[in-house]
Amino acid sequence: MPRVTKQQLIRLQKKFKTDARIGEEFGITRQAIHHLRIQYGIESRRAANPERNQKILQMKTKGASVEKIAKKFNLSVPQTYRIIKETAAPKKSAVKNAGKSVKRPRKK
């Protein structure tokens, strides 16, 4: 597998935006690029989009299907579910800072 440095990956992310396109450039898979991002601690460019994520959450709250939301924002269905889950959940650091442990009831 070609070696991609952290600096190269950051630079390529700005140019090509997606893991798939970066992978094409190096002749490796999208998954390999994703793994490198995780290893280097680099967020995906799509993940750091709080305005879009809030719009997605609002659409879901208003009853839109995840499939419809995914299509509108050009995302995969699993990625859309992850964004909804992460956007709706309170940040762990906020819970720790409050000095309380929060127990949530399990959904049945």
Domain holding 33, by residue range, is 6-40
Residue 66 sits at the vertex; the CA angle it makes with 23 and 70, to the nearest 5 degrees, is 35
Asked whether residue 74 falls in the same domain as residue 54, the answer is yes
- 55 and 85 assigned to the same domain: yes
Q: Please check whether residues 54 and 33 belong to one and the same domain.
A: no
Q: Within a domain: residue 76?
A: yes
For the segment 71-89, the average pLDDT, to the nearest whole number, is: 86
Number of domains in the chain: 2
Check whether 56 has a pLDDT greater than 80: yes
Same domain, 54 and 85: yes
- pLDDT for position 67: 95
End-to-end CA distance of the chain: 44
**Between 44 and 75, where is the model more confident?**
75
Q: How far apart are CA 71 and CA 103, in angstroms?
A: 34
Report the pLDDT value the prediction gives residue 47, as an integer from 0 to 100: 64
Backbone angles phi and psi of 44, in degrees to 5: -70, 150
Q: Which residues, including other chains, have CB under 8 Å from residue 40's CB and lie 6 or more apart? A: 6, 9
Q: Is residue 83 part of a domain?
A: yes
CA 44 to chain centroid, in Å, comes to: 6
Does residue 97 lie in a domain region? no
pTM over 0.75: no
31, part of any domain = yes
Clarify whether residues 33 and 56 are in a common domain: no
